[in-house]
Amino acid sequence: MKPVRIGIAGLGTVGCGTVRVLERNGDEISRRAGRKIEVTRALVKDASRLRDCPLTGIELTTDSRDLIEDPEIDVIVELMGGDDAARDLVLKSIARGKHVVTANKALIAVHGNDIFENARQHGVMVAFEAAVAGGISIIKVIREGLSGNRVNRLAGIINGTSNFILTEMRVGGREFADVLSDAQRLGYAEADPAFDVGGIDAAHKLTILASIAFGIPLQFDKVYTEGISNIRPEDVEHAAQLGYRIKHLGIAARVEGGFELRVHPCLVPEKRLLANVDGVMNAILVEGDAVGPTLHYGAGAGAEPTASAVVADLVDVVRALTTDPENRVPHLAFQSGRLSDVPILPIAKIQSAYYLRLNALNRPGVLADITRILGNLDISIQAIQQKGNGDHEAVLPIIIVTQMTREENMDQALAQLGELQTVVGEIIRLRLENLEWD
Amino acid sequence: MKPVRIGIAGLGTVGCGTVRVLERNGDEISRRAGRKIEVTRALVKDASRLRDCPLTGIELTTDSRDLIEDPEIDVIVELMGGDDAARDLVLKSIARGKHVVTANKALIAVHGNDIFENARQHGVMVAFEAAVAGGISIIKVIREGLSGNRVNRLAGIINGTSNFILTEMRVGGREFADVLSDAQRLGYAEADPAFDVGGIDAAHKLTILASIAFGIPLQFDKVYTEGISNIRPEDVEHAAQLGYRIKHLGIAARVEGGFELRVHPCLVPEKRLLANVDGVMNAILVEGDAVGPTLHYGAGAGAEPTASAVVADLVDVVRALTTDPENRVPHLAFQSGRLSDVPILPIAKIQSAYYLRLNALNRPGVLADITRILGNLDISIQAIQQKGNGDHEAVLPIIIVTQMTREENMDQALAQLGELQTVVGEIIRLRLENLEWD
């Protein structure tokens, strides 16, 4: 059978990784796919730049039309990143009847509904395993492996940069800003780290995961998103003393009346598997009603882990090239006309346990005031302790761990606690997931 | 589109679980698959028995021909277990052009090469995700998700019964036989536990995993197999003091000159993720050259976790029903004519680190004799300690942890150590995997 011909848009880290993997494992890949996969053209910004991959047989071009309009190219691999240019390339490729493989989470999370509708109309496949958690195959696991399940919830460490920073803060007792600049020097964080440490990148991924898990359209604008820049070494330390680690999680859950979609830092008991996922590694815990909890762990980024997912998608496309489009795996796991319109809940409606830290004057009745406020709002306390043995009227930290409550109750509690005359300065509030379902 | 019709052979635990999941999640499943999946017939031993699943619309029969010869049935789901009858049913179903889904690891590990060749000739699919580690989707992950990788090695906790027993021994400091009889009472172990605690079940699964990971034929008879019945509480305890846990692992590795395939108990550093997989849970660590290490965790057995895999296979079959057979996912991940004939190594040729425990007289020169024997065989010692402070000539235990060495060297060392006049009784030898690649 004649080889499948590929045009790659973007020969940066992931693009070069993909070319290297296709070259190095070419024999095994064609033994798996049944056909050879050949990269014949690549779209680049600067054709003269030196690159970390073999370029034999690959024609470089700076004009995207050379890829889109080449009738010999069967599949376009979009690895440019970014928004408008990538979207334009993908839509034009689809219109030309070309299959698309992409690693672009922002593109899928924000424009996916439109892109998949275009793909459906033109009978082509758009594969995006590389958009979430690199080579972990989490899209395939949820979309195909768990197809018999009603997925109830998932929680994941899906941003390697944030996980690296939190790990370093814990292990070294260091400040966020300090570790971040190290991470930038090591290449684990971008010069503009906002996408990663602000939680946007994780929110893009959670959007995609929730959609294929629950059978709902992509709804990036509905994801509650918090980053890790406010995490302080002292909270990492207190959490540790209580037996918890602080992780940055993406959480999606099916609850009464809708779905929760949220990205934020979170205390997790140290004995949980997710709590032990350190450094740049990713892991996603998924619970289906039949299978129970499953966990999927691996590198979430990097040239070759991402290339691993890109090539897996290419092999899937090659394996399916002769199938009629209606019988391929639906992009969002469910048939395109049968997505559910159950709403995403606002953050105020979610349920969570909480860790609170506040500073209060060492004065009789302080704990009574605090526990009364929480009790009146139906918030049960699991643990409360005032640290240190300061003098009367000294300012001492109080640590509180609550049972599950609704976020809007906790909002009210924080407002009331802030008005106490004995409470000094800001109150720290972190969510706490016991993850007893792993 | 008209429903896909299924005949289920066997309505025991997994059969009933499958019927329940198809019924309960029928709407979600058909939204995923694009067609309804209907169970129309079931083969049972006793049609009058009460069963733990809804039977509306399912015709029960005790004659397998009623399934095989029904022209309305598209897919046969084989959940009878066992050997000859299952094999007969599967081969006859294939000959009639029916697709097959099976959870039978023994059948695939022992007769898979023959079954897949028959399937190829008749253009049907045989799906077997449920044969390995229940609902974890490890077949799909390796066969499709890692298709861009050269898989280097994998290690897994793939027998829930053994893992449950080892966990209970560690947590409760209890004897193997004691925990086993508890496990039997709780239904975690069969009345005849040999398949599980003897390692046969894990060897069946490892056979399948190695084949799809490396692109080699199924070779069950080449797997080195050891069970857990010799594990003693005192070794669990010593291992713990050294920072290790004892796990029953299936290991497959690509090494110089061939592949290692082995199933045996093993010390694992307690900080590794696999060391923290407790109770009846399964987990498999897989290393690909592009993706690096990945870990996949979940329930490895039970009615609905297994049903989860059966239904996922059914959905795959439904999704692919209109594809021509040459372009489906190959059974063993690689095209059937292109399997590699690189040999499986005998156990003597594997490399491992070791934990040894022996009893020796407290006499000058004992440690010198032992270290000389190991040194002469090129075995480096990582740690050696004589426990206790007994009198001169008292019998005291000595614990040794070695660096990596070849198993045949260790065999020689054990023979020579056994001949020392100061060494009393049996020498305990356990392999030790640092799993530094997780």
DSSP class of B404: S
- Residue in A98, A105, A140, A205 annotated catalytic: A205
Contact A273 B297 (CB under 8 A): yes
Contact B308 A276 (CB under 8 A): no
What is the Cα–Cα distance from B304 to B134, expressed in whole angstroms?
A: 9
Residue B291 is predicted with a pLDDT of 95
Pick from A215, A294, A321: which is nearest to B31 by CB? A215
Residue A437 is predicted with a pLDDT of 52
Q: Which chain B residues touch A328 with a CB distance below 8 Å?
A: 319
The number of beta carbons lying within 10 Å of the beta carbon of residue A141 is: 25
**Chain segment A200-238, per-residue pLDDT in tens:** 999 999 999 999 999 888 999 999 999 999 899 988 988
Contact B34 A335 (CB under 8 A): yes
Q: How far apart are the first and last CA of chain A?
A: 46
Residue type, A34: G
Pick from B135, B146, B288: which is nearest to A294 by CB? B135
Domains of chain B: 4-137+304-338 (3.40.50.720), 138-299 (3.30.360.10), 351-432 (3.30.70.260)
Q: How far is CA B112 from CA B106, B126, B348, in A?
A: 9, 10, 27
Q: Which chain A residues touch B32 with a CB distance below 8 Å?
A: 147, 215, 330, 333-335
Q: How far is CA B318 from CA B4, B35, B136, B315, B426, in A?
A: 7, 7, 20, 5, 57
Helix segments in B215-341, DSSP class H: 233-241, 303-320
Residue of A nearest to B135 (CA): A291
Q: Are B179 and B280 in contact (CB under 8 A)?
A: no
Characterize the bridge pairing of strands B37-43 and B59-61: parallel
Q: Please give the mean pLDDT across all residues of chain A.
A: 91
Indicate whether A325 pLDDT > 50: no
Strand ranges in B176-271 using DSSP code E only, listed in sequence order: 224-225, 244-255, 258-269
Question: Band of the pLDDT at B11, cuts 50, 70, 90?
Answer: very high
Residue A283 is predicted with a pLDDT of 97
- Vertex A147, ends B54 and A87: CA angle to 5°? 150
Question: Band of the pLDDT at B432, cuts 50, 70, 90?
Answer: confident
Contact B144 A316 (CB under 8 A): yes
CA distance A381 to chain B (A): 29
Contact B22 A299 (CB under 8 A): no
Residue B327 is predicted with a pLDDT of 43
Pick from B28, B145, B312: which is nearest to A137 by CB? B145
Nearest 10 degrees: Cα torsion B354, B360, B364, B368: -20
Q: Is B36 a catalytic residue?
A: no
**Chain segment A139-182, per-residue pLDDT in tens:** 999 999 999 999 999 999 999 999 999 999 999 999 999 999 99
Contact A298 B308 (CB under 8 A): no
Question: Band of the pLDDT at A326, cuts 50, 70, 90?
Answer: very low
CA distance B421 to chain A (A): 46
Closest CA to B205 of B300, B335, B115, B331: B300
What is the pLDDT averaged over residues B6-14? Answer: 96
Residue B332 is predicted with a pLDDT of 58
What is the pLDDT averaged over residues A60-74? Answer: 97
Question: Which one of A22, A137, A140 makes the best mutation probe of the B interface by having the most chain B beta carbons within 10 Å?
Answer: A137
Q: Which chain A residues touch B270 with a CB distance below 8 Å?
A: none
What is the Cα–Cα distance from A315 to A174, expressed in whole angstroms?
A: 44
Strands across the sheet containing A75-78: A59-61, A37-43, A4-9, A75-78, A99-102, A126-127
Contact A308 B215 (CB under 8 A): no
**Chain segment B269-310, per-residue pLDDT in tens:** 898 899 999 999 999 999 999 999 999 999 998 999 999 999
What is the pLDDT averaged over residues A130-141? Answer: 94
Residue of A nearest to B128 (CA): A145
Which residue carries 């050997």 as its tokens?
B83
Of chain A, the percentage scoring pLDDT greater than 70 comes to: 95
Residue B326 is predicted with a pLDDT of 42
Contact A327 B338 (CB under 8 A): no
- Vertex A208, ends B276 and A224: CA angle to 5°? 85
What is the pLDDT averaged over residues A327-331? Answer: 53
Q: Phi then psi for B405, rounded to 5 degrees?
A: -150, 175
Pick from A147, A297, A327: which is nearest to B29 by CB? A147
- Residue in B98, B105, B205, B247 annotated catalytic: B205
Pick from B31, B215, B294: which is nearest to A335 by CB? B31
Which residue carries 């390796």 as its tokens?
B142
Contact A135 B293 (CB under 8 A): no
Q: Which chain B residues touch A277 with a CB distance below 8 Å?
A: 273
Contact A31 B338 (CB under 8 A): yes
Q: How far is CA A238 from CA A154, A231, A294, A399, B248, in A?
A: 26, 12, 29, 8, 36
Residue of B nearest to A328 (CA): B319
Question: Band of the pLDDT at B369, cuts 50, 70, 90?
Answer: very high
Q: Which residues pair with B41 in a beta bridge?
A: B7, B59
Q: Is B120 helix (H, G, I), strand (E, B) or coil?
A: helix
Question: Band of the pLDDT at B191, cuts 50, 70, 90?
Answer: confident
Q: Is A37 helix (H, G, I), strand (E, B) or coil?
A: strand
CB pairs under 8 A between A and B: 250
CA distance A303 to chain B (A): 9
